[in-house]
Structure 1
């Protein structure tokens, strides 16, 4: 009876060692769990960015207004018979002098 108890105790100790220090142990599991959480956050940020890009694409495909707005803001284009006024503030003057 003592031999069986000793053998079972040895098996229990070996299993505990593998659980805490072996391959795929509890600390490995916790580290992977944290990595998955970080990756999910990164994925959520990318999903939000993609949604904004898709909305931008749909807006550009559907209407002329979005194309016109981009041309005005990014390229400085104006319509025919339209007057363009540029307002320069005091802050921008001081920045250009420096």
Structure 2
């Protein structure tokens, strides 16, 4: 009887070792479950992106508004008899203070001409 008890105890310990530390053990199962969860989240994000792309494709196939919007935004196209205005944000440039006496009267008009030329080039 004692020998049977020792054999059963040894078998129980061997099975417990395999359950906790062997191949396909519980920690491996938990790690795989976590990887599956992360992969499902990534798949869900990709599915949302694909849905948006398919909706965009449907709009481009079916409607002229989407094509017109893309042509305007990406290619800068305009319709006939239409005026295009581009608003350029003003960038803050540090201004150096120059004494008024040292600035000749002609340089102010030259500065305005240069600013006008740069504005025309930006358009």
Partners of 1:89 and 1:15 in 2: CA distance: 72
Partners of 2:47 and 2:89 in 1: CA distance: 38
Partners of 2:87 and 2:49 in 1: CA distance: 33
Partners of 2:74 and 2:42 in 1: CA distance: 29
Equivalent residue number for residue 48 of structure 1: 48
CA RMSD of aligned residues (A): 1.2
Question: What is the TM-score when the length of structure 1 is the normalising length?
Answer: 0.89
Partners of 2:44 and 2:62 in 1: CA distance: 27
Partners of 2:86 and 2:37 in 1: CA distance: 48
Unaligned residue ranges in structure 2 (runs of 5+)? 94-123
Partners of 1:88 and 1:5 in 2: CA distance: 88
Partners of 1:56 and 1:74 in 2: CA distance: 15
The structure with the larger Rg is: 2
Task: Quote the offset at 1:89 in angstroms.
Answer: 2.4
Identify, as 1 or 2, the structure richer in helix: 1
Partners of 1:89 and 1:33 in 2: CA distance: 51
Equivalent residue number for residue 84 of structure 1: 84
Equivalent residue number for residue 6 of structure 2: 6
Partners of 1:16 and 1:89 in 2: CA distance: 70
Deviation beyond 2 Å, 4+ runs, structure 1: none
Within 5 A, what are the aligned runs for 1:1-98?
A: 1-91=1-91, 94=93
How many residue pairs align between the two structures?
93
Partners of 1:51 and 1:63 in 2: CA distance: 18
